[in-house]
Amino acid sequence: METIFPSRPLSESTALRSGSIWALGFPPPGLKTPNFSPCRKLAVTRAAIAVEEQTKTKVSLLKIGTRGSPLALAQAYETREKLMAAHSELAEEGAIEIIIIKTTGDKILDQPLADIGGKGLFTKEIDEALLNGDVDIAVHSMKDVPTYLPEGTILPCNLPREDVRDAFISLSAASLAELPAGSVVGSASLRRQSQILYRYPSLKVENFRGNVQTRLRKLSEGKVQATLLALAGLKRLDMTDKVTSILSIEEMLPAIAQGAIGIACRTKDETMANYITSLNHDETRLAVSCERAFLETLDGSCRTPIAGYAYRDKDGYCVFRGLVASPDGTRVLETSRRGAYVYEDMVQMGKDAGEELKKRAGPEFFDFLRSHK
């Protein structure tokens, strides 16, 4: 694990710990000192007491667990800023630490996610650190969070959702439709792969792992002709200047919970639960709950091409669109629902949509997907 502290100037306590004690008026050990006057000795004593008291108070009140990618850190910083704005005690210097934790998905970069297997590839180690007490809260991209939560944890907070659409990035074409036949699109997502091949069967899709910066570098090196990235991540990284065009929801249905940040804590930690619940954006939480109910019904993971998006329409109703596909794009099944923007109704909509697609696809479709895992 790696700890990130907010940057700050050298304090008295830092000076003492680092040996720079001349900064406080103390000579290095072994150096003969002048005969201070009683007033000078009193001032030195008071300074020493002040330093000791300051050192005692420099204990963080809250530790945030996160992955170490630039995007994950941007999401952790966003969480920290919102906590500091909402709670004055957390705005004190050093009150919040950010702890970087490497996950399985971060360590294995030479294989497609579908081949690594399992769920929670980008969350398992962070959840373990949370349960062990190494961190107090965990900040996740909600699309990485399995449909179940580890026992002993809760996720009572979703921050306001960013733009859910995908961005098309290329140095040679303005859109997917303009790519010549045989062009290679880099993507590690089976959801994107299946939808690309469904609409543009003349294109090729190759596994393209790594963070945003790594993928853009590979693109500039000519390893692929184009790639797709979540627009939400590019916005949080202030990198929208890299976008060639934005795909509509109709052309590329987003991943479940794309653009949403989730914050988890331990089940019985009321202090942390109160902190993060105060940041919850309920409209986002309800939409994400609808989408995750759809995913859970289909028993989906990163090995299954599934997409879904719930949102509030102009009349205040929830509209949900869902999709399941074969990885090669030869078969794509879609459905939609509309109903009240209420938690129970929205979760039921997601479940009903999932059950419909399971029936329409038939068991042989999912048996095929499982046999190719």
Q: How far apart are CA 82 and CA 256, in angstroms?
A: 24
- Name residue 120's amino acid: G
Q: Would you tell me the crossing angle of helices 343-361 and 282-297 to the nearest 10 degrees?
A: 30
User: What radius of gyration do the chain's Cα atoms show?
Assistant: 25
Do 24 and 45 form a contact (C-beta atoms < 8 A)?
Answer: no
- Name residue 54's amino acid: Q
Task: Report the candidate in 228, 199, 283, 296 with the shortest Cα–Cα distance to residue 256.
Answer: 296
In order of 227, 272, 291, 295, 312, the CA distances from 281 in angstroms are: 31, 17, 16, 21, 14
| Token reading at 365 | 């479709």
Of the residues 106, 134, 136, 144, which is catalytic? 144
Whether 144 is catalytic is yes
Do 136 and 95 form a contact (C-beta atoms < 8 A)?
Answer: no
> Phi and psi at residue 26, in whole multiples of 5°?
-105, 135
| Token reading at 221 | 């090196």
Residue owning tokens 């509509």: 248
In this structure, the number of other CB atoms found within 10 A of the CB of residue 359 comes to: 9
- Name residue 251's amino acid: E
Q: Would you tell me the crossing angle of helices 212-220 and 70-86 to the nearest 10 degrees?
A: 150
Residue owning tokens 């869902």: 322
Q: How far apart are CA 356 and CA 334, in angstroms?
A: 10
DSSP 10: P
Half-sphere exposure of 304 (CA within 13 A, CB side): 26
Do 373 and 117 form a contact (C-beta atoms < 8 A)?
Answer: yes
Please identify every residue annotated as catalytic: 144
